[in-house]
Chain A
Amino acid sequence: MFASLSRRRVILLVVLTCVLLITLDKRGNPVIDRARGVFSALIMRPVDTATNTIVLPLERVWDGITNYDDVRRERDALYDQVQHMRGDDVKAQTAILESQELLRVANLANTLDYTSIVAKVVGGSPSNFQSTVEINVGSSRGLKVGMPVTDGAGLIGRITKVFPDHSIVLLATDPSYTISAQILATSEEVAEAIANQVPSISPGTSSTTTSTTEPLPFDEPLPTTPPTTALPTTTTTTILEIIRETGALEGQGTDSPLILRFTDSSSAVTTVRVGSIVETAGGNSSLAPQGIPIGIVTRVVTETGSSNAVVEVTLNAFLDRLNFVFVTLFEPNPNAVGR
């Protein structure tokens, strides 16, 4: 095979073939897409299955020897966590019912309007440069490119390639991932943040062109403590006024938090604080419906010499421990999918 060609010709042939293939693939050649599907389904999967049959028992034995103590410790910690979460679950169910009732009253759409399909993660990217996982559900179950993927904790990414019986999910940490997101903060938090950072500015002047203040449709705010308290002067109430700061959330690589850049650079930095909730913003050009939880703000850095802030967001989901995921059957705008 090698003897008939000179060294330079072999190398030149390799380089030219690669350039040709890259050009064809970047132009979206359907033959290459089909070849990928056939290769994955008919060639790679049987090889993976055979390799797994041999490797998995060895891997389990090794894990058993080296990680036994860690696994026991983790199990004990998880028992504790489950006990706490049972309590939280009851509160959350109540909150969901209330929320659904409010949305119904206000005639608003929410994420629960879309059905989800459960999928199993069957593989990850072998490369250090792309953050993707492969799931065992494809176009035969109605999946399309661009659909958002979540796990129990929140958004994990979106579908980028769909084959008949499997799909590739681009994880939110990948540098090419971008989604429209919003930071939610109650006005109480905002007032506190403003008081801590810019004492001279009153809360009423903090709203910007990108901030939309949406009071919920109530005549009176709901008390957070039972109304049976004997001392009305000490009763605390949460001001049900949610400040939304909208921007583009971008992945920064596997080990880095996501970065949120505001749609308008004049967004008030003071309204964003560590611990605020980040969720999908929705809208016509978004890749996901509004209200899918993404994560929380873990750091706010003001850029030197400007009012712009870089907001770091840590995902709720643990992307290195994905097992079962949910694909929301939300069809995004085709123009948004292309981005």
Chain B
Amino acid sequence: MPRILFGPALRILPLGLLALSLQRLVFAQHPVNGVKLQFVLAVVVAAGAVGGPDRGAVVGFVLGLLYDLSGTTPLGLVALAYGLGGMAAGYVHTLLPEPHWWMGSVFAAVGAAIGELAVPFLGQMIGESGWITPRLLVQIPIVAVAAGLMCPALMPVGRWMVGVKRKKWKVMVE
């Protein structure tokens, strides 16, 4: 029972709501060079960087769905884009079983770039015109760098959210 109650499913939702609220009230109100930093995406890629591609995709899907529900984007669009971003960040685990924090940050930045870039491209595919503009060249690096910088602070949150523990390596002494 406790496993069900305190499992990842019930941790993602409240944390996702909190992240979305911070996005709407803080990060959307204070753009950097006209670009709104994407805190929800940063949480997604941090979760992906600590949990792997599948967990990253699921967290991206759930948080993206909340994002879609709170706004006017077609339901599932941001969920799919953030799912891709979380999955991309999770591929850091294909390099090392326990990657360094800075490697997680680099992959988180790449994942964030993919997630943010996927929104206009997927939008274009389903008929949302006008999202692909030259301004993406400014927007994507800012969002990606911000997510990479926020990632080390968000990794413990992501670890708790997806229910993975840091691996502890022990030396066998005879």
Interaction A to B:
yes
Say whether A39 faces chain B, with CB atoms less than 8 Å apart.
yes
Say whether A17 faces chain B, with CB atoms less than 8 Å apart.
yes
Contact partners of A254 in chain B: CB under 8 A: 34
Size category of the binding interface on chain B: 35 or more
Contact partners of A21 in chain B: CB under 8 A: 65, 68, 75-76, 79
Say whether B155 faces chain A, with CB atoms less than 8 Å apart.
no
B23 touches A126 (CB 8 A): yes
Binary flags per residue of B110-133, CB closer than 8 Å to A gives 1, else 0: 000000100110010011111101
Contact partners of B162 in chain A: CB under 8 A: 2
Size category of the binding interface on chain A: 35 or more
B24 touches A127 (CB 8 A): no
Among the 9-residue stretches A40-48, A86-94, A215-223, the one with 4 or more Cβ atoms under 8 Å from chain B is: A40-48
Contact partners of A251 in chain B: CB under 8 A: 130
Say whether A141 faces chain B, with CB atoms less than 8 Å apart.
no
Q: Chain B's interface: helix, strand, loop or mixed, by majority?
A: helix
B54 touches A18 (CB 8 A): no
Q: Considering the chains assembled together, what is the distance between the CA atoms of A128 and B74 in angstroms?
A: 15
Q: Considering the chains assembled together, what is the distance between the CA atoms of A160 and B36 in angstroms?
A: 22
Extra inter-chain contacts (20) besides given A25-B74, A132-B72, CB under 8 Å: A1-B58, A7-B54, A10-B58, A11-B57, A11-B83, A18-B77, A20-B76, A39-B69, A40-B70, A51-B18, A125-B28, A125-B71, A126-B20, A126-B70, A126-B71, A127-B73, A127-B78, A130-B71, A253-B130, A254-B34
Contact partners of B61 in chain A: CB under 8 A: 14, 17-18
The residue that A14 contacts in the complex, of B21, B25, B57, with Cβ under 8 A, is B57
B73 touches A128 (CB 8 A): no
Say whether B154 faces chain A, with CB atoms less than 8 Å apart.
no
CB-nearest residue of chain B relative to A251?
Answer: B130
